[in-house]
Structure 1
Amino acid sequence: MQRSHPPATPARRPSPAALLLSILLGLGIGAAAAQAESSPGPAPQRADAPADPMAHPLVRQIIELFRQQTGRKPDSEAIVGALNEITVGLLKDGKYSKAESLTRAALALAEAKLRKDHPHTLASLNNLAMLYKAQGRYEEAEPLLERGLAARERVLGKDHPDTLTSLNNLALLYESQGRYEGAEPLLERALATRERVLGEDHTDTLQSLNNLAVLYQAQGRHKEAEPLLERALATQERVLGEEHPDTLLSLNNLAGLYYAQGHYEEAEPLFKRALAAFERVLGKEHPHTLQSLHNLGSLYQAQGRYEEAEPLLERALATRERVLGEDHTDTLQSLNNLAVLYQAQGRHKEAEPLLERALATQERVLGEEHPDTLLSLNNLAGLYYAQGHYEEAEPLFKRALAAFERVLGKEHPHTLQSLHNLGSLYQAQGRYEEAEPLLERALATRERVLGEDHTDTLQSLNNLAVLYQAQGRHKEAEPLLERALATQERVLGKEHPSTLQSLNNLGSLYQNQGRYEEAEPLLKRALAACERVLGEDHPNTRKTRDNLAALRGARGDTETGEPLWQQRVRAAIEGVFKKESPEDLE
């Protein structure tokens, strides 16, 4: 898409702020928007600004450089504006401890020398709030964002773009806390106002479309999210072009929605298209490219295509370590996901050091109670659980649950998943009386907070039913499994992996009751779909195949029961010989 160029304008003497920015660029500090609309992950210890903000080393450096260029001292407005620009760059680079010291200095200087409702003051306030949000310090971020929004509404008006940025940022904070009911009206208001004031094709409007869609997706409201993402993508392709970075981010989001619904065949070409375009437009080492690479690897992993997933996830990790650094949040994401892939393959010894390293780094960089740190704690506990190391898993699950409740509240999705995990651990240990109240509480809260159709709610339905089944309470388990299956077929589709797991669980329940004629068609249907969607070697496929073989064996059906386990043995043997065949040797 060709762009029109404005006519040339006569050269003007640069303003003090513009001159400062040119100095900053000479220092290698990139300029960005003067306020952050969203920022990455978190940071370590708090760094207080000096009592006199003018004593901050960078402030002194800016003043000295300006004097060298102009022979005079810059005014406070120019200094604060420059500090805000630097802060945004530090936030984008994930340098949070440096950003905090500088942001505090900028805000202190702005409040001392400028008005409290000066645009630069409110930008500094917004930047500090977004830094706290990135660090998981939600209780500190909230009053700053609320104060900034109120001031901008009063000074600039409710329709001003900066006011809408504040509205958007407050909504994103609520979303991070799992306060979806609080976030939704703010995002809807931001979208409606931007459509009216800026127009449907404006980049801010399209950002609002994306943000609202992501909120709907977090709530499991996929049917509401999809048209918003499709509209955003179509508009960006028309207005910005098919290979503009914003367009490609929307393409990734739409692919992610398909992925979340288990529509892997629809997601894959979009992920591939986004990755190829990012590599072409931004280069193979740009953070957006690496996230796209990571997404495609995660899709392959979900499909059980481990041999295809592994090189992508390993490449994403290696490049992020080299380009972004070992402590960057994206690098830690790669560490976690590669570990989960190894765990899925039963390669526990390779997974464990990755998870331990990710956790140790997050504790040091983000703090022990940052949500990302707690998710890694949960993952490490899950690895111990998978290996049957229940005594090692239990204290980690408990610590994660207590911290999630304290930091995010008892009804946040992360807290409820942690509650569910601890209940599942007790169930695996046969501690049914301890497991039941946790799983029942997780289900009841998810139904109320997330809704009956949310995937997390359906996970709780399934696991509580499995607990009842383990206790021989088949009549209580059956309606839960039937309800889970019916809802998943309606919401996710008949061939989503979660739907197939429910199908397998219900078939196993019938089998355990001796209801073989009811069980067999369910298990056969689940097996056929698993082979088609996930592949013949996926763990879920193998599990379903084993269940069907057990059913036929229990029924004494030697004519059909024998080939199933023989088929599995033969496939394994053929795989060994295939790897040793001459044409595969180099």
Structure 2
Amino acid sequence: MTGQLTDRYLLAKRIAMDALEIDASGRDDLIARECGGDEVLVREVRWMIAAIENSHTATLPLQPGDTVDLSGSDAQVDAPRHYRLVRRVGEGGMGVVYLAEREDGGFAQQVALKVLNASAIGSPTLLERFVRERQLLARLEHPGIARLLDGGVLTDGQPFLAMEYIEGERIDAWCAHRGLALRERVQLFLKVCAAVEYAHRNLVIHRDLKPANILVDAQGEPRLLDFGIARLIDAEAVETTLTMTGQHALTLAYASPEQIEQQPLTIAVDVYGLGMVLYQLVAGRRPWQHITTPHQLSQAIVTGEIVPPSRSSENHDTGGYAGSPRRTVPADIDAIALKALRRQASERYATVGALADDLRNWLERRPVLARRGRRLYRLRRFLQRNRWPLTAAAALVLSVLAGLGTSLYSLHQARVQQRLAEQRRQQLERMVQFQQSMYDSVDIGAMGHAVVAAAQQQVGAALAPVASSAAPPADGALTKAFAAVQATDIARSAFDTYVVTHTLDNLDHAFPEAPQLATDLRQSLARVLLGIGSYAHAARELRKVIAEREREPAEVHDLLSARADLAQALESQGQTQEAASLYSQIARESEGLAPVDELRIAAKAGSARMLVAQGHQRQALQEQQALYAELKSKLPATDHGLMQLRRDLVDTLVQMGRRSEARIELESLLALDRGVLGAENSETLRATITLAKLLRADGEFERSLALAEQVVAIRQRRLGADHPDTIDARYVAATDATKLANDPASLSRIRGTLQHVVDTRRLRYGPDNPQTVSAMTGLVALVAKQGDIAPTGREAQPYYMQAIALEQVIMDSHVRMLGLDHPHTLLARGSLASLLDKAGRYRQALVQADETLAGQRRTLAPDDPIMLGTLNMIGDIESDLGDWANARDAYRQALAARAQRFGPEAPHSIESASRLYLALVKLRDTSAAADVRKHYLDPVIAMDPATLNAAMRSVRDEAIRMIKP
């Protein structure tokens, strides 16, 4: 019956369109001739002609003051078309849909009548979108898309659409209620794909694909509804503003990352939507269905980390998809769904047709493109696809086995040759490894110093005759000049240029018949460049390796290995975003490897490090702890990957302010590093400098400075003065020295060091790189201290203003790169508040401090040390304003939390106690003041200052000052 109605509708539409092409005077004859006496068909044709002509009377957009009755009780179209509303069947973001009956003489038809809801009155944008839906639907004629039957304006001027009424059930519920098998679900889903692909061919993107917009009718055919937010593929760029989430022109739970980020949309958004529908059909739930808040859901969508359908929580107990227990979701379907839902649009299927082709590959037991490159998988699919022909072939082979005896000798010979080839391959791999180990063992520092020493000796000998016949050179001038030469940098440049680069330039010419061997050697040399710190050059060579392995057939492991090396090079250069993307790609593609495979471990560990760099410390810590728990029982404690993971754990704990946990873990790891790797190994030095940073954070500046200076000396000798690792150690030493210095001369000298660190990092990484901004933070602390020790307030003011200007630059960079609520941004805002307070700009300082505390309460734990420091700072500002009651409340909160977290005798606790004591004295609360003195101040005052470190001596001195009358 449905097919007959469709044919009749198409016939009526053709006749109506032909009639519109001629003058009105000749239309009656054409209609009578084409309809052949069918009066019902005549009425249908005349109704269509009237609908088309009347639809041109719509004038949009309506003015905000227009009054429109949208209750439905008076809704009817201009004569001769009349609709009777039966019931409301749905309501969306911009329209109300009624089941209505069109009555025209003897002709009656049920339709879905859609009009704007009351909230759209005064919204030109929604009215324009409503008209666009009518224009889009008018160009779509496909059995899988609900047809537009009529459109125009109501008698009150309100636009309407009359669409084919679909009596059906949403696709996911339809499948679940009938317990459809997976193959049947996929076959049904392919029909949806065909409808979407047809829309794309007609240059229309749907943009809101979800199960609620796909109904399955009584004949089991899916029908695509609601093009309310669709747009033309070739529409003007300004149209993209209509997709803003703030205007709700999308369904957030099914939105793609580019919709969340308000980027220009392509057909990739519909590929993503189909991926969501496929995921729900096979898993019985959406990705992130457990997330209930819009902010968290948006973050999850943009992050793009999706659990495969086979591991979805609804299927966890049964291992099956919804409605079909104990049936597992195949890995192929996992791969197809995840490829359609890739974070980057360029990584998804290029078209809906490609997605459909991959699903057909699965139905036909052919390899799917989403899992390309896995040889055993392709072989298994071939066997499944050709089981009967192969069975017949096996029977034939069995019948002729007697004739194969003469081939056994040839087979034996072939195996001998294979063993010889394998031996040669192993020998070649040993040669490559030997070459790399020899290059890696070159001590760049020793080479540089030897070159400089020889040059100094020869220059001195050459100048000796000149000195004997003229005035001798200044005493020690030659020695001082050569001491200023950066020997390691010279050696690195020479080794890179004349050894590694020279070898690389000749690779392709030396192995024209063995390009794969040349590629392996190039990767080996790139690792040498990584080892000597030539990161940019290493990255260039690794990109060549990856391009070659992607162009020519290569083992998946080899390709992933080159990508992992490139990610390391990018990470070392501070290119966080690209490195994070690469690590995530490697992690996805290494899922099929063994749990202890070094590439899988490196990729997952690298992804976690990038989360830390992007400010997602909690998520990073969870992933690192889970990976460590998985591996520690499977690998020895000395395994390189496991030790690296423990270093990453320490770094994350430090970033989160959990210093005591980090210090315990690090002290154990550092002892292991020294025993396994040696005291001067780069990883040992990295652990040492991290311990120095922890000591600095705990106020043990003397110990921290001693460790940092040891590392500086070793790294400068081995790597050079301007190597990033040397600069890092020098920065730690300079910040320790800043804390310990109390005279202008020392601070001026340290300022020169910190300025050099800032300039070097800015030149290497750029002004907004975290490494550059971190060095600027240290410089701010030093300039502020120069103001603190200035003899008078007038002399101090210029230093404070310089520090404020620097801190404003830091905060602006963090806001631009990280966002308002990132921990680094909040830390910079708090520092700015402290500097404004020192400069006497108390009201401005309090505004910044309050904003800092509000942001920290949204993002940090209640007892986070950074937030407790902010509370203490608010107390200081309120004290400077003379509001001792507010100061008392802030100090009291800070003291309670600090004493609970660090202990009553910790430096931070004593700091808050001393200032709370003063506030209580100012408020004449002598009883409370005496209690604070008894429990906190008197015990620390009684300590022997000779046994205390700098931080404890400082807070003890402050406590003594507070209790003096």
TM over 0.5, shorter chain: yes
Residues 123-522 of structure 1 correspond to what in structure 2 (within 5 A)? 123-156=520-553, 160-195=556-591, 198=593, 204-233=599-628, 235-236=630-631, 240=634, 245=639, 250=645, 253-254=648-649, 257-263=652-658, 267=661, 293-294=668-669, 320=674, 324-325=677-678, 327-333=680-686, 336-337=689-690, 352-386=705-739, 387-388=741-742, 389-430=746-787, 431-522=799-890
1:498, distance to aligned residue in structure 2 (A): 1.1
Judge conservation of contact 2:436–2:525 (CA < 8 Å) in 1.
no
Deviations 1:148-194 (A, max 9, x none): 2212211236x822222222322232222222222232222222222
Residues 533-544 of structure 1 correspond to what in structure 2 (within 5 A)? 533-544=901-912
Judge conservation of contact 1:35–1:123 (CA < 8 Å) in 2.
no
Matched residue of 1:493: which SS? coil
RMSD (Å) for aligned C-alpha atoms? 4.2
Deviations 1:171-226 (A, max 9, x none): 2322222222222322222222223x547886533432221111001211124424
Segment of structure 1 superposing worse, 484-493 or 437-446: 484-493
Task: Give the whole-Å Cα distance in 1 for the aligned partners of 2:575 and 2:427.
Answer: 43
Segment of structure 1 superposing worse, 562-571 or 514-523: 562-571
Where does residue 15 of structure 1 map in the other structure? 423
Q: Give TM-score scaled by structure 1 length.
A: 0.68
Percent identical among aligned pairs is 22
Deviations 1:351-374 (A, max 9, x none): 555433432322221112111111
**AA at the equivalent of 1:356:** E
Judge conservation of contact 2:621–2:649 (CA < 8 Å) in 1.
yes
Structure having the larger proportion of residues in helix: 1
Judge conservation of contact 1:41–1:135 (CA < 8 Å) in 2.
no
Task: Give the whole-Å Cα distance in 1 for the aligned partners of 2:514 and 2:897.
Answer: 61
1:415, distance to aligned residue in structure 2 (A): 0.6
Q: Radius of gyration: which is bigger?
A: 2
Matched residue of 1:429: which SS? helix
**AA at the equivalent of 1:571:** P
Task: Give the whole-Å Cα distance in 2 for the aligned partners of 1:42 and 1:493.
Answer: 46
1:327, distance to aligned residue in structure 2 (A): 3.6
1:576, distance to aligned residue in structure 2 (A): 6.0
Matched residue of 1:451: which SS? coil
**AA at the equivalent of 1:382:** T
384 and 244 in structure 1: CA distance in 2 versus 1, 3 angstrom threshold: closer
Deviations 1:215-247 (A, max 9, x none): 001211124424533553455468x37979456
Deviations 1:295-334 (A, max 9, x none): xxxxxxxxxxxxxxxxxx7x67xx83x7645543244345
Task: Give the whole-Å Cα distance in 1 for the aligned partners of 2:865 and 2:804.
Answer: 25
**AA at the equivalent of 2:779:** L
Deviations 1:85-138 (A, max 9, x none): xxxxxxxxxx99999998668656744432497333223322333333344333
101 and 455 in structure 1: CA distance in 2 versus 1, 3 angstrom threshold: farther
357 and 185 in structure 1: CA distance in 2 versus 1, 3 angstrom threshold: closer
Task: Give the whole-Å Cα distance in 1 for the aligned partners of 2:498 and 2:888.
Answer: 65
553 and 128 in structure 1: CA distance in 2 versus 1, 3 angstrom threshold: farther
Structure having the larger proportion of residues in strand: 2
Judge conservation of contact 2:905–2:940 (CA < 8 Å) in 1.
no
State the aligned residue count. Answer: 469
**AA at the equivalent of 1:209:** K
Task: Give the whole-Å Cα distance in 2 for the aligned partners of 1:102 and 1:404.
Answer: 27
Matched residue of 1:15: which SS? helix
Task: Give the whole-Å Cα distance in 2 for the aligned partners of 1:211 and 1:510.
Answer: 44
441 and 135 in structure 1: CA distance in 2 versus 1, 3 angstrom threshold: farther
Q: Determine whether 1:528 maps to 2:896.
A: yes
Judge conservation of contact 1:135–1:370 (CA < 8 Å) in 2.
no
Gap runs ≥5 in structure 1 = 1-8, 25-30, 48-94, 276-290, 295-312, 580-586
Judge conservation of contact 1:43–1:134 (CA < 8 Å) in 2.
no
Judge conservation of contact 1:43–1:97 (CA < 8 Å) in 2.
no
343 and 141 in structure 1: CA distance in 2 versus 1, 3 angstrom threshold: same
**AA at the equivalent of 1:367:** G
Segment of structure 1 superposing worse, 331-340 or 163-172: 331-340
1:344, distance to aligned residue in structure 2 (A): 6.3
19 and 166 in structure 1: CA distance in 2 versus 1, 3 angstrom threshold: closer
Deviations 1:407-427 (A, max 9, x none): 222221111111222223222
Judge conservation of contact 1:156–1:163 (CA < 8 Å) in 2.
no
Task: Give the whole-Å Cα distance in 2 for the aligned partners of 1:333 and 1:341.
Answer: 13
Task: Give the whole-Å Cα distance in 2 for the aligned partners of 1:440 and 1:101.
Answer: 45
Gap runs ≥5 in structure 2 = 1-414, 449-491, 788-798, 948-965
Task: Give the whole-Å Cα distance in 1 for the aligned partners of 2:900 and 2:512.
Answer: 65
Deviations 1:258-295 (A, max 9, x none): 45323568x57xx97xx7xxxxxxxxxxxxxxx6625x
**Greater RCO structure (CA 8 Å; 6+ sep):** 1
